[in-house]
Chains A and B, each alone.
Chain A
Amino acid sequence: MLYLFQVLNGLGLGMIYFLISAGLTIIFGLLNFVNFAHGAFFMLGGYLCWSLTELTGNFWISLLTGPPLVAFLAWAAEVTLIRRIYRLPHTFHILVTVGIALILQETTIMIWGPIGKSIPVPDGLQGVVKLWNFTYPTYRLFLIAFTSLIGFALWYLLERTRFGGLVRAGSESAEMVALLGTNIHRLFARTFALGVGLAGLAGTLSAPIRGIHPFMGPEVLGIAFVVVVIGGMGSFTGALLGGLLVGLVQSLMSTLWPEGASLMIYGTMAAVILLRPYGLFGRA
């Protein structure tokens, strides 16, 4: 029973990691852009959730408004700054987004203070669900269901809509999409906003479980990198399976070796790199 509990926890955590990594990987796939501020936007999602919940007294309102707000900020950053540097080598993408991450982190401390906060589990999802003799927190069950729904919606968006078709085609050849007469600037900005919005959504959803603090950005970024190194950049399936693998490893290890749970995530990555340098699903 303990293991079932941890497996479910791992699934929830894994789906959160999946949302973060999917955002990173969609942006990279289409824009060939590396967003080192991804973790900072995740953190911002958590803080907006806190503030909006405080303001309205309703978690659901903050879930509906927080992530779009993060996406809007990302859109603004894309339009004013990021689109100027696509043509530069990746190193410059990294430097600029590290700069953005620092600004977000310090601004967060200025507004919300350096001490972390906890967010109450939303009304209606408190308590536990009982199945025979197994009990499991309702919110965590909701988390698994809701993130699965989001994952499915994302898949639908990418595979079955015109927007998704453009994103996928653009990942193969941006010139092609431009030739189709699509406004490539607008497509890029929207994709960037979508990817970052996913990080914001993940931040909002995980806030009631894990709490928030201003320095969580780098930690989340590190985990997202592990997921995409394992799963392969630009791969939706890779992000899903990599995210679940990392979530499960972390969750199961936290019963076996609590202090080393985070360490094992990176151990998993090192093992994958040694055995399969191009990741589990990557091509050589």
Chain B
Amino acid sequence: MDANGQARAARHAPGGSGQGRDLFASLRSGPFGGPTPAVAVLLVLMPFALPSSTMATEILIFATATLACNLLLGYGGLLSFGQAIFFGSGAYLSSLTMMRLGAGLLPALLVAVVAGAVSAALVGALSVRRTGIYFVMMTLAFNQTAYFIAYTLSDWTGGDNGLLDVPRPPLALFGVTLADLSSATAYYVFTAVIFLLIFIAVRRVIASPFGSTLIAVRENEARALALGYDTRNFKIAAFAVSGAMTSLSGALYAMLLNFAPLENIQLSMSENIVIMTVIGGTGSLLGSLLGAGAWVIVSDMLAEIWPRWLILTGGALILIVLFLRGGLWGGVESLMRRFGGGVPYAADGASDAAGPPAQPVE
């Protein structure tokens, strides 16, 4: 199918409304407007509504990774099965920085962010040499590469056993301790602040010249090239931003568990992140929070009573492609359109690029 055919197919898919999507509208609300206050309120309520603040923390950590995946898939049309590379290496590198170099919390997180951006730029630069299906296959193959590297370097990563006794140092700046994070609640507050900052940052990224170009690349790469955009650079940059966020979430996850298992860098982790993104709704930032939340809550409920609950996610993926391409958030939107008339934040940066991911095809 040519690029136009793709675009047309995307237009007729559920979730793609006939009204044109206007980036300008999203900007009037700015990164602090739109859904941001609602997300802030939600962050305050979450630990009370959920069984534990540890679970709330886990949701936010995966929501961060999901936002990063969404930036690639929902906005750039880039389906990456390599997100676990960054998630896992963020967990390992931040843990090792703390354990071997005795670094504090913020330097360790900084190491994760930088390493994530660099490794993602590298993976991106290699993968975007091809487009379409080859691109996806290469991200998957690079995930396997990273997995085998981690497995081989067992002196550093602990191999199959994982990296044990990962510390969770207090929040300190220039040697001054600001907060002790050892309690679950304190760590939740810390994670929630980081999540909110990232949510705001992603809204800004999407509404930037870069973000608008990324959407253009998703919509029609040939045209974007003809307009003067070196589209590969935009894809690589998208990878770098996404990798930095994913790596940060991996680092936070290791500190939550006090443990960095090999599973963090396995292909199945990449799959899980993609599944959370798709179930929540691609191209919608609130969808990412919803997707991660649904995943963590359902897995927590079912893991004890039915370890094979992953079958359900397999079924959910199929059902979403067949009936609900906008994901859960797309479903919420159409329900609101039917019953409430208006859709909150519909003309907003969070959802204005909603619609199915359109992967360019060779």
A residues contacting B by CB (< 8 A) are 28, 34, 81, 84-85, 87-92, 94-96, 98-103, 105-107, 109-110, 218-219, 221-222, 225-226, 228-229, 233, 259-260, 262-263, 266-267, 269-270, 273-274, 277-278
Contacts and interface: CB of A to CB of B under 8 A. Distances in A.
Interface of B: 1, 6, 9-10, 13, 73, 77, 79, 126, 129-130, 132-134, 136-138, 140-145, 148-149, 151-152, 267-268, 271, 274-275, 278, 308, 310-311, 313-318, 320-322, 325, 356-359, 361
15 contacts: A34-B133, A88-B321, A89-B358, A89-B359, A99-B315, A99-B316, A99-B321, A102-B314, A103-B314, A219-B144, A225-B138, A259-B151, A263-B148, A266-B145, A273-B129
Interface of A is mostly: helix
Contacts of B357: 89, 91
Given A92-B356, A100-B314, A263-B145, 20 more contacts: A85-B321, A85-B322, A88-B13, A89-B1, A89-B361, A90-B133, A91-B359, A92-B321, A95-B318, A96-B317, A99-B317, A100-B318, A102-B314, A222-B140, A222-B141, A260-B148, A262-B144, A263-B148, A266-B144, A270-B142
Most buried by B among A102, A260, A270: A102
A102 B136 CA distance: 18
Contacts of B356: 89, 91-92
Contacts of A266: 141-142, 144-145, 148
A166 to B, nearest CB: 21
A161 B160 CA distance: 49
A273 B140 contact: no
B145 A270 contact: yes
Contact of B268 (A84, A88, A110, A218): A218
A274 to B, nearest CB: 7
Most buried by A among B142, B274, B308: B308
Contacts of B268: 218
Contacts of B143: 222
In order of increasing CB-CB distance, the 8 nearest A-B pairs are: A102-B314, A99-B317, A266-B145, A225-B137, A222-B144, A103-B314, A99-B314, A91-B359
Given A89-B361, A109-B308, A81 B318 contact: yes
Contact of B9 (A87, A95, A222): A87
Contact of B134 (A110, A222, A233): A233
Nearest to A108: B308
Contacts of B322: 84-85
Contacts of A109: 308
Contacts of A89: 1, 6, 9-10, 356-359, 361
A91 B79 contact: yes
A96 B130 contact: no
Contact of B149 (A218, A263, A278): A263
Nearest to A114: B307
B308 A106 contact: yes
A106 B310 contact: yes
A277 B129 contact: yes
A96 B151 CA distance: 29
A233 B361 CA distance: 13
A103 B315 contact: yes
Contact of A274 (B126, B142, B317): B126
A218 B267 contact: yes
Contact of A99 (B130, B134, B142, B318): B318
Contacts of B138: 225, 229, 269, 273
B313 A102 contact: yes
A94 B318 CA distance: 10
A269 B144 CA distance: 12
Nearest to B320: A95
Nearest to A277: B129
Most buried by B among A95, A107, A221, A267: A95
B141 A229 contact: yes
Contact of A95 (B6, B133, B278, B310): B278
A90 B359 contact: yes
Given A91-B359, A273-B126, A101 B314 contact: yes
B143 to A, nearest CB: 8
A114 to B, nearest CB: 9
Contacts of A91: 73, 77, 79, 356-359
